Amino acid sequence: MEHTKERLVIKEKFEEMHKSIKQSFDELSRNNTSPKVKKELDNTVEEIKNNLSVNIELLNEILDVKATDEYLYNHSLNVAVVSNLIGRWIGLEQKDLDILILAGLVHDIGKLRIDPAILNKPGKLTDEEFTEMKKHPEYSYQMLMEMGYKDNAILKAVTFHHEKEDGSGYPLKISGDKITIHAKILAIADIFDAMTSNRVYKARVSPFKVLEMFQNQNFGKLDYSIIMTFVRKFTEYYVGSEVILSNNKKAKIVSLNTFELTKPLLVTTEGEFI
């Protein structure tokens, strides 16, 4: 029962933080970029920093199915948490982790200045709509400046989180070392959460399938060394965990092959290896 109790505690913390983010974002959507909103966001950063320890229950909460109409709030919280995890796993210092948590939390606030009809459109965006959508990192930058955030590392992480290693990203089409480490991590956390969440225009994808897609560079050029650390550390937490098979039988994950994540070795309750 310990796992269940731990999961409930994490769920409650996520709900509290979700409520706080929603409140802050509602203010921002009304163009209120006052110091009060900045303080609320900074408090949420402290909550994430001090109250969430890394375990399988935390990962399961990140991957839990959430309401699609509150995607922006859930996504912002998840990206902050996942970015923090990746930063820890690659050995960054606490000051860098603090940057990642805040940048993850606010990386998409610019979307609050985009027409909801474009933001929540269930079909494919037109070229004009996609051009507008691609402005959200710049809008986020402007809003952070208005709120009084001066730290260049945070501003760059937020502005560059859609840039790619080969220069094919946006808004500045920069490449390689010109993209900061924080932005590289944010890009991975952003895509991972977007792909594993239900959206108005597409169903969620299995996290192991997404990790496999990262390895195959299906999302364009991202930092491969960070991806491999993320894949290895994330999957470690799932060895020994219970899964339900397509025939409704229970089984445990015995091992995961880093290069064939969607084909784990399982053992059923009857002792049969699959």
Residue recorded with tokens 């080969």: 166
Tens digits of per-residue pLDDT, 213-255?
A: 998 888 879 999 999 999 999 999 888 888 888 888 888 999 8
Res 21: pLDDT: 95
Residues 6+ apart with CB under 8 A from 107: 76, 79, 137, 140, 157, 158, 161, 186, 190
Q: What is the pLDDT of residue 96?
A: 97
* Residue in this structure with the two tokens 């996504």, named with its chain if needed: 75
pLDDT at position 27 is: 95
**pLDDT value, residue 1:** 41
Least confident of 25-29, 43-47, 238-242: 238-242
Q: What is the pLDDT of residue 261?
A: 84
DSSP string of 119-166, one letter each residue: HT-SSPPPHHHHHHHTTHHHHHHHHHHHHT---HHHHHHHHTTT--TT
**Given the residues 38, 66, 111, 150, the one annotated as active site:** 111
The total of other beta-carbon atoms located within 10 Å of residue 274's CB is 12
pLDDT over threshold 60, residue 2: no
Amino acid at 80: A
> What three-state secondary structure class fits 178?
helix
Neighbours of 267 (CB within 10 A): 14
Q: Give which of 244, 173, 205, 182 is closest to 63, Cα–Cα.
A: 205
Quick check: 257 pLDDT over 70?
yes
Could you read off the pLDDT of 199-211 as tens digits, one per residue? 877 889 989 999 9
Tell me the percentage of the chain whose pLDDT exceeds 90: 68
Per residue in 53-103, pLDDT (tens digit) is 888 889 989 998 887 778 999 999 999 999 999 999 999 999 999 999 999
Active site residue 111: yes
Judged against a pLDDT cut of 90, whether residue 111 lies above it is answered with yes
CA–CA distance, 19 with 251 (Å, rounded to integer):
36
Confidence class for position 3, pLDDT limits 50, 70, 90: low
Section 128-146 average pLDDT: 96
Averaged pLDDT of the chain:
92
User: Residue 20 to residues 62, 83, 224: CA-CA distances in angstroms?
Assistant: 17, 19, 34
Residues of the chain above pLDDT 70, percent:
99
Confidence band (pLDDT; 50, 70, 90) for 17? very high
Q: What is the mean pLDDT of residues 187-201?
A: 92
